[in-house]
Amino acid sequence: MRAVFLAAACVCILCVAAICLFLLVNGLPAFGKIGPLKFLSGSVWRPGSGAYGIAPMILGSLYVTAGAIALGAPLGVLTGVYLARFCPRRARAAGRAAVNLLAGVPSVVYGFFGLVVLVPAASAVFGGSGKSMLTASVLLGLMILPTVISVTETSVRAVPEACYEGALALGATHERAVFFAVLPAARPGVTAGIALGVGRAIGEATAVVMVAGNQPVIPSGPLRGLRTLTANIVLEMGYAADLHRGALAATAVTLFVFTLAVNVLLALGRGKRPA
């Protein structure tokens, strides 16, 4: 069994290495032809005219992901804490079933919900088409909820009961013991859940394509349309060729580096123990 486990681990590592190699082989030549600075900081994306600037898509991905985390992370963490420490036992099973159901909903269904519910609502309230940064952020915030809730609940329940009981013995109420003793002790796991949510948000394509407006321009406000890195790849890979296809592969490399950087930063944050 030790050999089986080692082989499984090696297969996983080889798959990741193969993906990295594929991206680098296909993306680095385009970086060289276009120029890294021109490619990353250019504000115009017109492949037909030879303009390959992905700064609008980089900003679009960052803005949408930040909005999704700002909306989804607090709600997900509080819901996970509620299920772990406040929810009645009979209602807890129903809550977990609902969270698992949300986790199993396909991305295209989320996108369809956003298209027929969120977009018309945003259009009615704020005007315009309704396809905007705000709509995409709200939709992605809903999509990352199951991940954040599940990991937070598991992390909170994994904290030794002695931590909670010690806080009660020192005179803390139930709420203070949970939020000032148990939750700080569970911070590494909670941060891991948020990191998984960031990965889900920044890597989502199908749902974002349906509600974000897909305009390759610098985002000028939360009610304006934008295009993310993933949406740019999905929309144009079907007909791209030569340098255009290489630029899309370079876009994938940029997205991979961003995701890796976010995970590294959050891993460093998890390594610091609460005072």
Quick: pLDDT tens for 100-113. Answer: 998 889 999 999 99
Helix (H) or strand (E) holding 45: strand 45-46
Banded model confidence at residue 215, pLDDT cuts 50, 70, 90 = confident
∠ at Cα 19 (193, 5), nearest 5°?
A: 65
pLDDT of residue 31: 86
Instruction: Tokens 């680098």: give the residue.
Output: 24
At residue 220, φ and ψ (nearest 5 deg) are: -110, 5
pLDDT of residue 272: 54
12-61 pLDDT, tens per residue?
999 989 988 988 888 888 888 888 888 988 889 998 888 899 999 999 99
Query: In whole angstroms, what is the distance from residue 47 CA to residue 74 CA?
Result: 40
Q: pTM for the complete prediction? A: 0.86
Banded model confidence at residue 270, pLDDT cuts 50, 70, 90 = low
pLDDT score of 175 more than 50 = yes
Query: In whole angstroms, what is the distance from residue 149 CA to residue 138 CA?
Result: 16
Q: Chain-wide mean pLDDT for the chain? A: 89
β-strand pairing of 51-52 with 45-46: antiparallel
Contact 204, 167 (CB under 8 A): no
Q: Which CATH number goes with the domain that contains 101? A: 1.10.3720.10
Contact 132, 224 (CB under 8 A): yes
pLDDT of residue 258: 84
262 vs 228 pLDDT, higher one: 228
Domain count, the chain: 1
- Give the residue numbers spanning the domain of 233: 2-271
pLDDT score of 275 more than 50 = no
pLDDT score of 219 more than 60 = yes
96 vs 275 pLDDT, higher one: 96
